[in-house]
Structure 1
Amino acid sequence: MKERLITHLRHVDLAVPDYDKQFEFYTTMWGLTPAITDEGIAFLAAAGSPEQYSVRLRRAAEKRLDLIAFGASTPDDVDALAERLAADGVQLVTSPSKMQTPGGGYGFRFFDNDGRTVEVSAEVEVRAHRKVEAGESVPVKLSHVVINSPNPEATVAFYERHLRFALSDTLMHPRMGSMMWFLRTNRFHHSLAIARGPHVALHHASFEMRGIDEYMRGTGRLLRAGVEKVWGPGRHMAGNNTFSYFLDPHGNTVEYTTELEQLDEDTWHPHLYDFSDPMVSDQWGTANPMNELVARQSFNDPDRGVFVAPPV
């Protein structure tokens, strides 16, 4: 089996029509810090993360997921992955080269099987970050990204075959079959998950908090401010992490989480969890029930950026 060359998740990039409203939400309400801003583009960092930014916002006529970015260890690994993908017939958007985004580095972009733009990079300059203190309800880092696919089996196979992601667990329903696959590229239970959905779209982006207290403080801050809650607070079975899902001003689902499980990859065996069991959805029993309304919010709008590379 070919070696795994992707090491971790870096950032998620969103295009939004109402840029000012989104910028206000992600900085003032969600707790990210503007690292660099320019006309119609902002790179927003998480306080505890060495990544240059965790979210990039771009002003655009239509809402879309611009890209998902992952890290690699070395430029040689970037080159090797690009060569592997090209040899397998994957469409490259750019060839490996010096990057122009904050922190520089060396990377390339390609389309996955659903037409999302994915970026892989190495040697991005480490950002000066800090320890998030007790009681601070701001994100430590971007934890994971979940995407919707109308053909999730093929999308899971793409990430397993071409990028060497490993399956951690699967959620299923007795009437609907397999519904969500949790994929990892390091010891964390998942940095990417793929959900069955009616169209290609972002399902949600999740941000790690310092601990349970900070997670609950952040959840409470958003509730008090009237931000629309989708689901939570609770604790999932798969990944054993906490969850509170909210909608950003453009209807993207974003999550506060903490305590995502770390696995012994040599001994881990994937579970098949039946999420009609309330304990699977929420071990605590504190969240609102998972129902069709909650699921529909996470379907999001159809992504207008399929097989169209972002301009930046």
Structure 2
Amino acid sequence: MITHLRHVDLAVTDYAAQLDFYTGTWGLKAEHSDSGITFLAAEGSPEQYVVRLRQAADKRIDLIAFGVASTADADALASRLAADGVRLVTEPGKLQTPGGGYGFRFFDNEGRTVEISADVAVRRHRAIEEGESVPVRLSHVVINSADPEGTRRFYEKHLGFALSDTLTHPRMGDMMWFLRVNAWHHSLAIARCPHPSLHHASFELRGLDEYMRGTGRVLRAGVEKIWGPGRHLAGNNTFSYFLDPSGNTMEYTTELELIDQDTWHPHLYDFSDPAVSDQWGTANAMNEFVAKRSFNDPDRGLFVAPPV
């Protein structure tokens, strides 16, 4: 029933610094603000917002939000989840966030809050111009999981996600699973990690030139680059990973693969092959340092519903 990824909501301890980073450096637009909370839109996206920042005492993922086609689908999905023993955070009803709509929230298997919504008003957006290096949309979210096999089963069984590809390693086994809900190669991915946390959120730019311009702008701003620029094999998308002021990994990308879901067969890619992580060979080598930077801090919000 899920149609697409809507937004990722982050609680941060350094709200002012984060807001300055996302609006002044990353290229998002603050559309709605209140005391200690801001809803950030991507100029090219019809979604009301793609990131929500909230001032908090603990750093956490507040929630990850996905869309469904109708209120009937939201009701049906909520009923099915409840019948399967999934713990609902809120019952289906009117949403009080920008754009309104109808939806509900629940905890996934590791305690992340997930929101499902329908009938959210479309934001007035615009076509991103040639050379304009601001995000078009939120491309995908990658989560760290201490039980990645269980997390994959949860999203496939309860939410209908489908596997696109898997990264594996000769010594460490399967390491990352790419899951889709539409023709985009992935909207969600799951990485093996010692603890649940945000691995990264990825933002689509208009094209290769805009992606490189954006990468250069963020570098010139002095933001710490973790990895890139390069092009992955799984998803065939470009990547430049940076750390935001809270230590969350954020990615600029473009040209994420669109697949024929009727004929697609998942690949098992050997991550020890450098061409799997970076087809171009332009990025710094993937090593233990790079991997650990994306482990992030343990999420402090598991099985605790966000206050907003």
Tell me whether the two structures share a fold, i.e. TM-score over 0.5: yes
Q: 1:250-309: per-residue Cα shift (whole Å, max 9, x none)?
A: 000000000000010000000000010010000000000000000001100000000000
Instruction: Measure how far apart 1:180 and its partner are.
Output: 0.1
Report what 1:256 is aligned to.
Answer: 252
1:151 to 147, 150, 161: 147
**Superposition pairs of residues 11-50 of structure 1, within 5 angstroms:** 11-50=7-46
Shift of residue 225 of structure 1?
Answer: 1.2
Structure 1 residue corresponding to 2:305, chosen from 301, 306, 309 = 309
Note the C-alpha offset of 1:91. 0.3
Deviations 1:62-83 (A, max 9, x none): 1111000000000000000000
Structure 1 residue identity aligned to 2:125: H
Whole-Å separation in 2 of the counterparts to 1:268 and 1:129: 32
The percentage of aligned residue pairs carrying the same residue is 77
Tell me the distance in 2 between the aligned counterparts of 1:59 and 1:113: 26
Structure-2 separation of matches of 1:11 and 1:294: 25
Distance (whole Å) between structure 2 residues aligned to residue 132 and residue 28 of structure 1:
18
Q: Distance in 1 between matches of 2:73 and 2:12?
A: 32
- The aligned residue for residue 136 of structure 2 is 140
Which runs of 5 or more residues in structure 1 are unaligned? Answer: none
Residue of structure 2 equivalent to 1:288: 284
Post-superposition offset of 1:224:
1.0
Task: Say which of 59, 66, 78 aligns to 1:70.
Answer: 66
Q: Deviations over 1:158-196 (max 9, x none)?
A: 000000000000000000000000000000000000000
1:48-197, aligned counterparts within 5 Å? 48-197=44-193
Distance 2:277 2:13 in 1: 33
**Distance in 2 separating the partners of 1:140 and 1:224:** 21
AA at the equivalent of 2:162: A
Name the residue aligned to 1:297: 293
Rounded Cα–Cα distance in structure 2 between residues aligned with 1:225 and 1:35: 23
| Moved beyond 4 Å, runs of 4+ | none
Alpha-carbon distance in 2 for matches of 1:205, 1:303? 15
The structural deviation recorded for 1:246 is 0.1
1:69 and 1:309 map into 2 onto residues whose CA distance is 14
User: Residue 17 of structure 2: SS of its match in structure 1?
Assistant: helix
In structure 2, the gaps of 5 or more residues are none
The AA in structure 2 aligned to 1:270 is P
Shift of 1:89: 0.3
Amino acid at match of 1:82: A
User: What is the aligned-residue RMSD (CA, Å)?
Assistant: 0.3
In the aligned structure 2, how far is the partner of 1:295 from the partner of 1:198?
Answer: 12
SS of equivalent to 1:221: helix
Q: For 1:278, which of 271, 274, 285 is the aligned residue?
A: 274
What is the CA–CA distance in structure 2 between the aligned matches of 1:85 and 1:289, rounded to whole Å? 42
CA offsets 1:47-105 (integer angstroms, 9 cap, x no match):
00000000000000111110000000000000000001000000000000000000000
Q: Counterpart in 2 of 1:199?
A: 195
| Mapped partners of 2:13, 2:275: distance in 1 | 39
Q: Secondary structure at the match of 1:299?
A: coil
Alpha-carbon separation, structure 1, partners of 2:176 and 2:3: 22
- What do the CA deviations read for 1:10-62 (whole angstroms, capped 9, x no partner)? 00000011100000000000000011011100000000000000000000011
Partner Cα separation in structure 1 for residue 103 and residue 259 of structure 2: 28
